Amino acid sequence: MENNGKEISLVSQLIWRIESERNGNGRSPAERAPLGQVTAADTERGVTVHLRREQPVELLRQGQFVVVEGRHVRFFGTIGSFRLATTDPAVGMDPPDSASPLVRDTLSRSTTYAECNVRMALELSPEGMPRPARTIPGPFSQAFVAGQADYRTVFGTEDRHHFVIGSPRELDEDMAAQAPICIDLRKFVERSNGIFGRTGTGKSILARLLLCGMIKSDASVNLIFDMHSEYATEKELEPRGQGRYAKGLRDLFGKNRVALYTMDEEESRKHGGVDGAIRIALSDITIDDIEALGSELKMSEGSAMLITARQAWRKLGRNWIERLVEMDAIRLEEYCTQTGANTGSVEALKRRLETIADFPFVVSSKEAVGGGINGLINDLKGGRHVILMFGQHRSTLAYMLVANILTKRIHDEWVKWSERHEQDREGQEPPRPLVITIEEAHKFLGRGSATIFGTIAREMRKYLVTLMIIDQRPSGIDDEVMSQIGTRVTALLNDDKDIDAVFTGIRGGSQLKALLTTLDSKQEVMLMGHAVPMEVVLRVRSFDNDFYRSLTTGPATPTKLARNIEENIVKSEKAKTSLESLFDE
């Protein structure tokens, strides 16, 4: 650097160095960069790294991936917090008032220092595999900002089971390809998963991304309860009005692999392209389904109306809703006299049940249900992914009703399939892992809720049915269910209760909470849990042409699955024929 007789402060030297690095004259971000050395460590509170003077603290970020080379063990962790300190308390009490760069820079470099707290998550086992850190690095162990090779060691490289979900937040987008963060999809589908974040943080795009990964790798077969009809086809990306669209799953994978079912026959008639319509018979709605809809029907636990409903279920049998809804005033009075039920409660219950009976997709007779549900189940069994669109029926009541009833049916099928396989391991194929995606999950999985979704979340992988829940209020989800969530992908959350809920059952959750609040509201998420070796803050990959291209390359679809899909298309064609005949009627 030239002097030119002018003052060149340490700061300007530093800026020059940083700029030269940015211009490619320095270290490549793909390489490790020295960070500092370990000066203190604690298994509970993490490791203190005294930063090198050459490492400007302002260029580091919370959540940054760090490697510590101990004498015997290599550790991996993330920066949790930073701290500026002075070697002399007097400096803090009486900071220099001089404007001289010499005084200021000298004091800042010699009497102050920066350190960061690193949460050690993993250590490298003697076999070279990352495993949870069980010890701490020795004094003065050298710490580094992780390089490309370190990311690969921990998160693996993209292959059939490892799906690139994003890149480290601290890397520029053009450098992101050098350090992809992969998620192990086999582990991901083993347990129920959650995508959390406040409104507008890109949860549905993230869900779409993960679904693409699962579909591409055939890690599982997926059923998506698509409340807003946004997963199948193109969706405009935010900010809206800029002509940026994300392709739908059907656009990307075609009808051979993704089946569309609808709750809205009218809309499907207009647009076509669906594989079937779902109708629900009133007789299939049990008292448990009504209880699960308690919050939407304004029937609280223990209320007179719910007691009346249970009584009606017992007295009127399987067609209880149909019979109750069809009662005129005289018959209702007779029913109340016979059963001793309160007339007001029965009338109120009748009104609530009428809202259900009035849904166009709810039919009175078993025969009118058609082959929709069976077609959907057969598609899933055959390995075809299913998106169930709700069309105009976007109310939470409709969504919960359908999701509950269908999931119960599907769950029953998978339980039977598992049991058949258990009884005849040689002759019967094991069930295909099924992932059910639901939105507004806290409505299904609230405290004390006994819905089928709670059962699935708690059962875990017993019957190879798991959930991918998408929610903006994780605090509304039962703690027990939350603790069973395997992998959590968390975008920005504001509410303290929601943040606490997300970290339920996570080791070192308190340290991670602070990190969560540093997320940008767009594209940044924290990934933690079963499918990744350690928690990581990442920038989610863009849903763009590069991504679409990556879906068409990579490992080939297994022949067996392809055969199943072909078989399934034949079945769905049959189902469609029966559907058309229904419409004709």
Q: Please pick, from the candidates 14, 30, 40, 91, the single residue that binds another protein as defined by CB under 8 A.
A: 91
Cβ 102 to another protein, closest distance in Å? Answer: 5
Q: Please pick, from the candidates 42, 54, 83, 96, the single residue that binds another protein as defined by CB under 8 A.
A: 96
Cβ 54 to another protein, closest distance in Å? Answer: 12
The yes or no reply on residue 59 touching another protein (CB under 8 A) is no
* Backbone CA torsion sign across 121, 127, 129, 131: negative
The closest alpha carbon to 356, from 333, 377, 325, belongs to 325
d(CA 18, CA 456) in angstroms, rounded, equals 52
Q: Please pick, from the candidates 19, 42, 54, 88, the single residue that binds another protein as defined by CB under 8 A.
A: 88
DSSP-assigned states of every residue in 75-96:
EEEEEEEEEEEESSHHHHHS--
- Distance (Å) of CA 25 to CA 19, 22, 52: 9, 7, 20
The yes or no reply on residue 102 touching another protein (CB under 8 A) is yes
Cβ 98 to another protein, closest distance in Å? Answer: 6
- Angle (CA) 220-222-224 rounded to 5° is 160
Contact by Cβ (8 Å): 411, 455: yes
Cβ 105 to another protein, closest distance in Å? Answer: 6
Q: Please pick, from the candidates 28, 100, 157, 494, the single residue that binds another protein as defined by CB under 8 A.
A: 100
Interaction residues for another protein, span 68-87 (CB under 8 A): 87
The closest alpha carbon to 220, from 186, 170, 257, 178, belongs to 186
Cβ 9 to another protein, closest distance in Å? Answer: 8
Q: Which is nearer to another protein, 2 or 328 (CB)?
A: 2
Q: Which is nearer to another protein, 95 or 317 (CB)?
A: 95
Q: Please pick, from the candidates 20, 98, 300, 365, the single residue that binds another protein as defined by CB under 8 A.
A: 98
Q: Which is nearer to another protein, 9 or 300 (CB)?
A: 9
Cβ 17 to another protein, closest distance in Å? Answer: 12
Q: Please pick, from the candidates 105, 251, 500, 567, the single residue that binds another protein as defined by CB under 8 A.
A: 105
Return the DSSP state at 541. P
Which residue is associated with the tokens 């968390």? 490
The yes or no reply on residue 580 touching another protein (CB under 8 A) is no
Q: Structure tokens of 492?
A: 């920005």
The yes or no reply on residue 2 touching another protein (CB under 8 A) is no
Q: Structure tokens of 106?
A: 């000298």
Q: Which is nearer to another protein, 88 or 424 (CB)?
A: 88
Cβ 55 to another protein, closest distance in Å? Answer: 16
d(CA 198, CA 520) in angstroms, rounded, equals 12
The yes or no reply on residue 510 touching another protein (CB under 8 A) is no
Measured in whole angstroms, how far is the alpha carbon of residue 499 from the centre of its chain?
15
Neighbours of 328 (CB within 10 A): 7
Q: Which is nearer to another protein, 107 or 357 (CB)?
A: 107
d(CA 288, CA 293) in angstroms, rounded, equals 9
Stretch that binds another protein, among 70-78, 104-112, 400-408, 508-516 (CB under 8 A): 104-112
Cβ 123 to another protein, closest distance in Å? Answer: 34
Stretch that binds another protein, among 3-11, 28-36, 288-296, 386-394 (CB under 8 A): 3-11
Cβ 63 to another protein, closest distance in Å? Answer: 31
Stretch that binds another protein, among 107-115, 188-196, 260-268, 316-324 (CB under 8 A): 107-115
Q: Please pick, from the candidates 3, 25, 545, 553, the single residue that binds another protein as defined by CB under 8 A.
A: 3
Scanning 358-440, the segments in alpha helix (DSSP H) are 372-381, 396-423
Contact by Cβ (8 Å): 386, 223: yes
Contact by Cβ (8 Å): 433, 385: no
Q: Which is nearer to another protein, 96 or 273 (CB)?
A: 96
- How deeply is 265 buried, as exposed, middle or buried, from its count of CB atoms within 10 A (0-12, 13-18, 19+)? buried
Q: Please pick, from the candidates 37, 39, 81, 111, the single residue that binds another protein as defined by CB under 8 A.
A: 111
Q: Which is nearer to another protein, 109 or 331 (CB)?
A: 109
d(CA 354, CA 50) in angstroms, rounded, equals 68
d(CA 403, CA 227) in angstroms, rounded, equals 10
The yes or no reply on residue 337 touching another protein (CB under 8 A) is no
* Backbone CA torsion sign across 421, 426, 428, 434: positive
The yes or no reply on residue 14 touching another protein (CB under 8 A) is no
Stretch that binds another protein, among 5-13, 172-180, 215-223, 320-328 (CB under 8 A): 5-13
Q: Which is nearer to another protein, 9 or 494 (CB)?
A: 9
- DSSP SS3 for 42: strand
Return the DSSP state at 556. P
The closest alpha carbon to 57, from 69, 46, 68, 49, belongs to 49
- Distance (Å) of CA 521 to CA 80, 89, 195, 198, 575: 19, 38, 14, 9, 43
The yes or no reply on residue 39 touching another protein (CB under 8 A) is no
Q: Which is nearer to another protein, 91 or 551 (CB)?
A: 91
d(CA 3, CA 421) in angstroms, rounded, equals 79
The yes or no reply on residue 94 touching another protein (CB under 8 A) is yes
Q: Which is nearer to another protein, 109 or 574 (CB)?
A: 109
Tell me how many residues contact another protein (CB under 8 A): 24
Quick one: which H or E segment has residue 291?
Answer: helix 287-292
Cβ 19 to another protein, closest distance in Å? Answer: 17
Which residue is associated with the tokens 């109310």? 395
The yes or no reply on residue 20 touching another protein (CB under 8 A) is no
Q: Which is nearer to another protein, 13 or 157 (CB)?
A: 13
Q: Please pick, from the candidates 20, 110, 300, 581, the single residue that binds another protein as defined by CB under 8 A.
A: 110
Contact by Cβ (8 Å): 71, 141: yes
Taking the CA of residue 164 as centre, how many other CA atoms within 13 Å lie in the half-sphere pointing to its CB? 23
Stretch that binds another protein, among 14-22, 103-111, 127-135, 146-154 (CB under 8 A): 103-111
Give the interface with another protein as residue ranges (CB under 8 A). Answer: 1, 3, 5, 7-10, 13, 87-88, 90-91, 94, 96, 98, 100, 102-103, 105-107, 109-111
